[in-house]
Structure 1
Amino acid sequence: MPRKTLFITGASTGIGEATARAAVENGWHVGLFARSEDKLNALSEEFGQHGLALPGDATDFKTQTEAVNTLAEHFGSVEAAFANAGRGLDAAGTDEGDPEEWQQMIQLNIMGLLWTTKAAMPHLKKSKGHLLMTGSAAGRRHIKGSVYGASKWFVHGYAGNVAEEMREFGGRCSVIAPGMVNTPFFDDSKPEKLQPEDVARAAVFALQSDPRANIQEIFLMPTQ
């Protein structure tokens, strides 16, 4: 059976990197998109003929569009895209928050995700493909003054809307929504929390579910 192709933003570390590895192990080609060109090249070399490094900034629509098109030309098609790139905030809450930092976060967490969706959609229509988005437990509950959490509420709401849109052509959209994950997102190591591999397995589970089933959300939390 021919390998399908997955485009991943934020692919150089954390959930994106782990998902790329899990996808390759499960028979996918992967397009690796992030700003860290050195890390992407190392991953692509590790994956051999199954990986393609696509360095770029997720907040730039033209760059994402060119990357997805290059991936489709390289492997012949794109069957899935994972809008995974995101960031948090140093200053929490509304009163103490930094408006400039909010704007940077919104450009990535919201606009970057919209760019991935828009760039990938023509290819996903052709392949009746699958769109994944990284949500969060923060997008499933109210956290005092959290602007970051509000950005993830957007992801959950938009993903549901996109699932309805993609249903019209036989496509699917899933949110992968973890609680705290031990990634470079945090300054300190969180070994007792979810690991990137846990989230990657959830992503691959959604991708490899039977085409008749759209798993619209996987919500996973650490046991501790």
Structure 2
Amino acid sequence: MSTKTLFITGASSGIGAATAREAVAKGWQVGLFARSEDKLGALVDELGDKALALPGDATDLDSQKTAIAKLVDKTGGLDAAFANAGMGLSASGTDAGDPEEWEKMIGVNIMGVLWTVKAAMPHLKDRAGHLLLTGSAAGRVHIPGSVYGASKWFIHGYGGNLSEEMKSFGGRCTIVAPGMVNTGFFDEPKPDKLQPEDVARAALFALEADPRCATNEIFLMPTQ
């Protein structure tokens, strides 16, 4: 069987980069999509010829379509896409929140995910492919006024709807929903919380499950 191919958004650091490393270690080819061309280049240097840097903006549908087309042209097809790009907010709550920051966040956390799915779906249909979406513990509980949390509630609802849609061609959709992860998302290191590698291993667990097994959601929380 030919090597499988995975497209990852937000691939230059954190969960995206860790998933790329885990996937390549398991024999996958990866397309690395993010805005930071330098970081992507360094990651490709680390991972070797199974990785392809695809600089682009997750909030631009054409950018994602072009990137996936380049990846498919190199590898011959697409087996999975990980809509992982996301951002948080500097001010929490609705009353104290910044409307301009909300618009930017919705562009990444909601529209960016929709664009990944829209760009990837025609290719995934050819291979009964798999979609991964980065959810969050914040999309499973109510946090006072959290607009960020509401963006993740969208992901959890949308992922369930995608699972139903993708049944028509044997495809699968998994929401990987972590609690606090020690990434650049936070200003201070969180060494006692989840590490990006924990989330990456969960993503590959879902991707490599038997085709009869649809892992609809993996919910990860720090022990402490």
- TM-score grouping bracket, smaller chain normalisation: over 0.9
Report SS of the residue matched to 2:126: helix
Match in the other structure for 1:209: 209
Cα distance in 2 for partners of 1:135, 1:51 equals 25
Q: After TM superposition, what 4+ stretches of structure 1 lie above 3 angstroms from structure 2?
A: none
Cα distance in 2 for partners of 1:214, 1:68 equals 24
Amino acid at match of 2:202: A
Amino acid at match of 1:142: H
Amino acid at match of 2:126: K
Amino acid at match of 1:126: D
Amino acid at match of 1:118: K
Residue-pair matches, total? 224
**Post-superposition offset of 1:42:** 1.1
Report SS of the residue matched to 2:175: strand
Cα distance in 1 for partners of 2:174, 2:69 equals 22
TM-score normalised over the length of structure 2: 0.99
Residue 79 in structure 1 maps to residue 96 in structure 2: no
Report SS of the residue matched to 1:133: strand
Q: Over the residues paired in the alignment, what is the CA RMSD in angstroms?
A: 0.5
Q: Counterparts of 1:41-120 in structure 2 under 5 Å? A: 41-120=41-120
Cα distance in 2 for partners of 1:31, 1:121 equals 15
Match in the other structure for 1:9: 9
TM-score normalised over the length of structure 1: 0.99
Gaps (5+ residues) in structure 1?
Answer: none
Match in the other structure for 2:195: 195
**Post-superposition offset of 1:2:** 2.2
Q: Counterparts of 1:141-152 in structure 2 under 5 Å? A: 141-152=141-152
Cα distance in 2 for partners of 1:47, 1:6 equals 14
Moved more, 15-24 or 37-46: 37-46
Q: Counterparts of 1:101-180 in structure 2 under 5 Å? A: 101-180=101-180
Percentage of identical aligned residues: 71
Cα distance in 2 for partners of 1:112, 1:21 equals 23
Cα distance in 1 for partners of 2:43, 2:127 equals 26
Match in the other structure for 2:23: 23
